[in-house]
Amino acid sequence: MTTKKEQIDIGKFRFNADGLIPVVTQDYESGEVLMLVYMNKEAVVKTFETGYAHYYSRSKQTVTKFGETLGNTQRVKAAFLDHDSDTLLIKVQQNGKADPERKEHTFFPEQIKGDYKDIGGEMFGRLQRIVGEYKKNREDGGYTSFLFARGVDRISKKVGEEAVELVIASKNAEKEGVINEAADLLYHVMVLLSARDVKISEVCAELCKRNR
Our count of domains for the chain comes to 2
Which of these ranges, 20-29, 92-101, 110-119, has the smallest mean pLDDT?
A: 110-119
Whether 19 and 89 share a structural domain: yes
Whether 126 and 205 share a structural domain: yes
Whether 70 and 129 share a structural domain: no
Whether 145 and 192 share a structural domain: yes
Q: Is residue 109 part of a domain?
A: no
Residue 58: count other Cβ atoms within 10 Å of its Cβ. Answer: 12
Q: Is residue 111 part of a domain?
A: no
Contact 93, 129 (CB under 8 A): no
Q: What is the DSSP letter of 172?
A: S
Contact 7, 51 (CB under 8 A): no
Taking alpha carbons only, the member of 28, 26, 25, 29 closest to residue 128 is 29
Taking alpha carbons only, the member of 181, 183, 149 closest to residue 167 is 181
Q: Is residue 99 part of a domain?
A: no
- Cα separation, 163 vs 169, in Å, equals 10
Task: Quote the domain boundaries for residue 73.
Answer: 10-94
Q: Is residue 116 part of a domain?
A: no
Whether 200 and 140 share a structural domain: yes
pLDDT of residue 6: 63
Q: Is residue 82 part of a domain?
A: yes
- HSE toward the beta carbon, residue 176, CA cutoff 13 A: 0
Mean pLDDT of the chain: 90
pLDDT of residue 1: 44
Q: Which helix (H) or strand (E) holds 129?
A: helix 122-136
Q: Is residue 25 part of a domain?
A: yes
**What CATH number did the domain enclosing 50 receive?**
3.10.20.810
Whether 61 and 126 share a structural domain: no
pLDDT of residue 188: 97
Q: Which helix (H) or strand (E) holds 43?
A: helix 41-50
Whether 134 and 173 share a structural domain: yes
Whether 79 and 20 share a structural domain: yes
Whether 17 and 84 share a structural domain: yes
**What CATH number did the domain enclosing 171 receive?**
1.10.287.1080
pLDDT of residue 2: 41
pLDDT band for 125, please (50, 70, 90 cuts).
confident
Q: Is residue 49 part of a domain?
A: yes
